[in-house]
Amino acid sequence: MNENRMISRMKEWGGSPMAKLLVTILIALLLLIPVAAIKDLMWERESRRDEAVNQVIDQWGGWQYLTGPVLAVPVREEYEQHFNDRVEKGIKQHYLYILPDSLKMDASMDSQVREKGIFKIELYSGDFTLTGSFTRPRNPLWDMSRSQVIWEDARLILGMGDVKGLSRDVKLDWNGDSPVFQGGTSGTSLLPEGIWAPVEIKSGGSTEFTMKVSLRGGGSIRFFPMGGETEISVKSDWISPGFTGAFIPTERELTDNGFSAGWKIQALARNYPQFWIDDNVTWQDIDGSGFGVNFVSPVDSYFKSHRAVKYSLLFIFLPFVTLFLFEIFAAGKLHPLQYIMIGLAVVIFFLLLLTFSEQMTFIAAYLIAAAGSAFLISFYTGAVLKSPVKGSIMAGLMGLLYLYLYMALASEDYALLIGSLGLFAMLAGVMIFTRKINWYELGGK
Kindly report, residue by residue over 286-299, the tens digit of the pLDDT. Answer: 988 999 998 877 66
Residue scoring higher pLDDT (80 or 273): 273
- Residue 88 belongs to what H/E stretch? strand 87-98
What is the CATH code of the structural domain delimited by 64-298? 2.60.40
Nearest C-alpha neighbor of 172 from the set 196, 137, 145, 193: 196
Q: Give the residues across from 296 on adjacent strands.
A: none
Q: Where in the chain is the domain with CATH 2.60.40?
A: 64-298
Nearest C-alpha neighbor of 64 from the set 232, 296, 221: 221
- Can you list the positions of beta strands (E) in 225-378? 229-236, 241-245, 251-255, 258-266, 275-277, 291-295
Query: How much is the average pLDDT of 293-307?
Result: 80
- Which residues, 6+ apart, have CB-to-CB distance to 165 below 8 Å? 60, 61, 62, 64, 215, 216, 217
Residue 1 has pLDDT above 50, yes or no: no
pLDDT single digits (tens) 200-231? 887 777 889 999 999 998 888 999 999 999 99
Residue 19 has pLDDT above 80, yes or no: no
Specify the 3-state DSSP secondary structure of 275: strand
Q: Give the residues across from 386 on adjacent strands.
A: none
pLDDT single digits (tens) 137-182? 876 666 666 777 888 888 999 999 888 888 888 899 988 888 888 8
